[in-house]
Chains A and B, each alone.
Chain A
Amino acid sequence: MDDVITDFLPPSRLYFEDLNAFSPPPSPLPRPFILWSNTDHNPDLNFHPKTLIVAISKPSCFFLHHVTCKTLIGTVVLPEISVSGKTLDPSHSDNSCNIFKLDSSPETFLLLIQYTVCADRASALAKLVFDEIKPEKTLIFGSIQSCNYRGTLPVDETLVFKLETSKQRDCKDEGDALGFVKDLSYFPSGNLIDGVGAALLAKCQIRGRNGILLVSWPEYGGSIVSLLKSFMLNVSKELDCDIDGETLKDSHSDSELYS
């Protein structure tokens, strides 16, 4: 049972140190930037994807890493993130944020955010993504954060909810690749998502773009990976991935505890 006397305040409450207007400002950090693999993929040459799929949750990064028909075209660099231990070939355990083009659908980019983005850097990263990549539509895969969820999260059930921008909600395009979300339930009122997924979706909303954030529960597990696969097949029918029973079992234990 929670100890209401000594427990930390819930995330919606504020300590005085958070409110103190005289706290020194944070040390300035260099802006994040994108390194493109070659000029063909450089958006400065007016090539922008129709759809950007962003993986933030561990299962989504795991799944999209195992999609075979994709080409690495760039990487997002957050200067404060160490590259120690990173390999030249993308790995699903890397502290990286790589951008891929889907070979079966070249107007679809994948962004796998495998490093932890501090809350106060999330907006800078979101701004970079939309200033440089400029997708028409954005689909983000995240997780429900139990500390920000006021309902009951079941231990043995897979949940997925959606949050979407006003533009996406009003979209009547029957051929929309992201139309499969119409049948999903909305994230219940009174609950929040924070972090880089929230920053990306909020940016879409402010800029009047189509954007969807799908949040799933539990945070890890093969059931989520299977669900994501079914969603991604709606985006690209020719999607192929090399996930078998063994790799799926590995996804259960693929947590930071063991990395």
Chain B
Amino acid sequence: MEFVAEEGRQLNSSSSTLILPALSIGNIGQLAVDLLIASLNAKRVGFLDEPSVLPCVGNDAYGPMPEGDLAIPLEVYDAPSHGLSLIQQRSPVVKGMMIEFAKNLASCASDMGKTHIIILSGLDSGRRRRCDLSSNMQIHYISSASVDGTDEVCKHLGWKRLPEYSPTQKRWQYLVSLSEGNIVPDDFLSFDDELTDEDYYPSLPFAALFSCCKAKDLKVTCILSYCSEGDNIPDSFRMAEAACHLLGVRMNDIHANEPGGWLIPLSWKTVYGPPPDISLF
């Protein structure tokens, strides 16, 4: 993976925090990053050239006006007034290449001088063991701040450490070994066995990114939110707000054009497809 600066732009060395999405159900990490880039008025400073991400292109992800601003799969944005960089990922990773991708991204983040990585990801609410009234509203997290994943700052925000994070569990350990580049015996893990609930979380992209960034001695915080596939815009707002709370970004710092204090990206206008055919009526 190579970072290529856009002509005339460069990465701000004072932006030590990096926010990036992990692919997940509901795409809420990616939607939240879209919202943050638009609302924090972050500027694109370059691209990541990575062969394990499938290609895609589009125009004018953020606007405000359609100007033919090309968007590609992996782009790097800077919001120097907030000491923050963001990576947006717009397309999936080639099947079977997630660990490789996570390692490459962690290396790149380290080379770019980032010290705190914040990973945004959804979790399948169908996998929840317990449901309560707060249900999908509760933010969960895991952090590299301690061995068991707890972090006092996140706790203070009212977030819950993900109960299913179990660093001694076999698949989490396997992830750690892979991300550290250790040789793992072939029979360490059998992938023929049916996936249990315990195996689900370490097999998600956020877990690979978490493990690989930790292996690079980067501070990592995963912000996690349960959701279902469907209209995930409210989920993305909740996740973006959570990221702002963690970073101390105040809502009145945001360039809003919508009630609630956010700038809706231009590309979201057609997220539900075209309007109904009025000839039906």
Q: Which of A144-185 contact B (CB under 8 A)?
A: 150-152, 162-167, 169
The verdict on B105 contacting chain A, using a C-beta distance below 8 Å, is no
Q: Give the docked Cα–Cα distance between A191 and B271 (Å).
A: 9
A190 touches B94 (CB 8 A): no
The verdict on A14 contacting chain B, using a C-beta distance below 8 Å, is yes
- 1/0 per residue, CB under 8 A from A, across B86-119: the answer is 0000111011111110100000000000000000
- State how many angstroms separate the Cβ of A214 from the closest Cβ of chain B: 12
B66 touches A186 (CB 8 A): yes
Main SS of the interface on chain A?
Answer: mixed
A18 touches B56 (CB 8 A): no
What is the number of residues of chain B that contact chain A, defined by CB distance less than 8 Å? 61
Known: A14-B27, A25-B97. A190 touches B271 (CB 8 A): yes
B72 touches A206 (CB 8 A): yes
The chain B residue sitting closest to A189, CB to CB, is B60
A191 touches B270 (CB 8 A): yes
Q: Give the docked Cα–Cα distance between A213 and B24 (Å).
A: 30
Q: Which of B255-281 contact A (CB under 8 A)?
A: 266-274, 277
Q: Which of A103-142 contact B (CB under 8 A)?
A: 119-120, 122-124, 126-127
The verdict on A195 contacting chain B, using a C-beta distance below 8 Å, is yes
CB contacts (< 8 Å) of B95 on chain A: these are 17-18, 23, 26, 120
The chain A residue sitting closest to B127, CB to CB, is A16
B70 touches A150 (CB 8 A): no
B4 touches A206 (CB 8 A): yes
Known: A18-B92, A202-B73. A126 touches B68 (CB 8 A): no
Known: A22-B171, A162-B68. A120 touches B54 (CB 8 A): yes
The verdict on A205 contacting chain B, using a C-beta distance below 8 Å, is yes
A23 is contacted by which of B67, B96, B267 (Cβ under 8 Å)? B96
A199 is contacted by which of B6, B7, B55 (Cβ under 8 Å)? B55
- 1/0 per residue, CB under 8 A from A, across B198-225: the answer is 0000111101100000000000000000
The verdict on A5 contacting chain B, using a C-beta distance below 8 Å, is no
The verdict on B181 contacting chain A, using a C-beta distance below 8 Å, is no
- State how many angstroms separate the Cβ of B53 from the closest Cβ of chain A: 8
Q: Give the docked Cα–Cα distance between A46 and B117 (Å).
A: 44
- State how many angstroms separate the Cβ of A194 from the closest Cβ of chain B: 5
The verdict on B57 contacting chain A, using a C-beta distance below 8 Å, is yes
- State how many angstroms separate the Cβ of B15 from the closest Cβ of chain A: 21
CB contacts (< 8 Å) of A192 on chain B: these are 56-58, 90
A26 touches B55 (CB 8 A): no
CB contacts (< 8 Å) of B4 on chain A: these are 206-207
The chain B residue sitting closest to A165, CB to CB, is B70
Q: Quick one: which of B49, B58, B97, B269 has the most chain A CB within 10 A?
A: B58
B175 touches A21 (CB 8 A): yes
Q: Give the docked Cα–Cα distance between A19 and B124 (Å).
A: 12
Q: Give the docked Cα–Cα distance between A194 and B70 (Å).
A: 13
B58 touches A163 (CB 8 A): yes
Q: Give the docked Cα–Cα distance between A163 and B69 (Å).
A: 8
- State how many angstroms separate the Cβ of A215 from the closest Cβ of chain B: 10
CB contacts (< 8 Å) of B94 on chain A: these are 26, 120
Q: Give the docked Cα–Cα distance between A120 and B59 (Å).
A: 22
Q: Give the docked Cα–Cα distance between A5 and B51 (Å).
A: 34
The verdict on B246 contacting chain A, using a C-beta distance below 8 Å, is no
- State how many angstroms separate the Cβ of B119 from the closest Cβ of chain A: 13
- 1/0 per residue, CB under 8 A from A, across B165-182: the answer is 000000100110000000
The verdict on B23 contacting chain A, using a C-beta distance below 8 Å, is yes
A202 touches B55 (CB 8 A): yes
- 1/0 per residue, CB under 8 A from B, across A192-224: the answer is 111111110110011110000100000000000
Q: Give the docked Cα–Cα distance between A165 and B6 (Å).
A: 11
The chain A residue sitting closest to B7, CB to CB, is A208
27 A–B contacts from the bound complex (CB under 8 Å): A13-B229, A19-B205, A21-B102, A21-B205, A21-B207, A122-B54, A126-B55, A127-B51, A151-B274, A152-B277, A163-B70, A164-B68, A186-B68, A188-B66, A188-B270, A189-B63, A190-B271, A191-B270, A193-B56, A197-B57, A198-B57, A198-B72, A202-B55, A202-B56, A202-B73, A206-B47, A207-B4
20 further interface pairs, Cβ-Cβ under 8 Å (given A22-B203, A123-B51): A14-B25, A14-B92, A16-B124, A19-B23, A21-B207, A22-B191, A26-B94, A119-B55, A122-B54, A150-B271, A151-B274, A163-B58, A166-B69, A186-B67, A188-B270, A190-B267, A191-B59, A198-B56, A198-B72, A206-B47
